[in-house]
Amino acid sequence: MKSKLLVSLLSCVASTALFAAESPAVGTTAPDFSVTDSKGKTQSVSQYKGKYVVLEWFNPECPFVKKHYGSGNMQKLQEEFTGKGVVWLSIDSSAAGKEGHLTAEQANQKMTEWKTKQTALLLDPNGKAGQTYGAKNTPHMFVINPEGKIIYEGAIDSKASANPADLANSTNYVKVALEESMGGKPVTTATTKPYGCSVKY
């Protein structure tokens, strides 16, 4: 067993039933993982050092996720920020046989069908990336700045509901955090309680 001091980016998997899989706190260094995406490429947080990275926990069957994709809201956000050089990683941590589990083929199909605009859709059926980040919900969002620090963690927006009609009068925390940080300002709302379905580990 290699010691983890210099390899401190090795994730520590929080253990079930003992320790809540706590999300790493805002301001700390974003832990790394390495997960294969739907195109078969290996994706990690560390390879995008120097760029903003958005992590979005994803489950195509979850009504809260459907709220944001069915309305085109999530695609719009992905398009806007990947256009500004942000790396957007959607992560599906549903275990095999659980709701929302996708094979690479199904994932690519879903991306085409929903016209998604993320950088990559990561398939994490063993829940490693999910547990590293203590992801509890779909959608559960993390924003990482170019220095590799977490600057936002929590819900996608201010209205916890599965109703697309609520999008109009809600604040999108991810958008605000990215815009503030890119403008050189501190993020005003850096931690919120995420809402959505539970991640189906």
In the complex, the residues that contact other proteins under the rule CB under 8 A are: 1-6, 8, 10, 12-23, 25-28, 61-64, 66, 69-70, 95, 98-99, 127, 130-131, 136-137, 149, 154, 160-163, 189, 191-193, 195-201
The C-alpha torsion from 7 through 12 and 13 to 15, rounded to 10°, is 150
Rounded to a whole number of angstroms, the minimum distance from the CB of residue 102 to other proteins is 15
3-state secondary structure of 170: coil
Q: Report the C-alpha gap between 146 and 98 in whole angstroms.
A: 34
CB of 135 vs other proteins, minimal distance in Å: 9
In angstroms, what is the minimal distance from the CB of 100 to other proteins?
A: 8
- In this complex, which beta carbon is closest to other proteins, that of residue 57 or of residue 119? 57
What values do phi and psi take at 105, rounded to 5?
Answer: -65, -50
Distance of closest approach, residue 193 Cβ to other proteins, in angstroms: 5
Residue among 43 and 138 whose Cβ is closer to other proteins: 138
Can you tell me the distance from the alpha carbon of 38 to that of 73, in angstroms, rounded to the nearest whole number?
A: 22
When the beta carbons of 23 and 78 are compared against other proteins, the nearer one is 23
Using the minimum distance from each CB to other proteins, give the nearer residue, 119 or 148.
Answer: 148
Can you read off the two tokens belonging to residue 129?
Answer: 């990336």
Q: Which one, 26 or 182, has the nearer CB to other proteins?
A: 26
Handedness of CA 156, 145, 76, 78 (dihedral sign): negative
Compute the least distance from the CB of residue 68 to other proteins, in Å.
12
153, exposed or middle or buried, with CB in 10 Å at 0-12, 13-18, 19+? buried
Q: How far is CA 28 from the centre of its chain?
A: 16
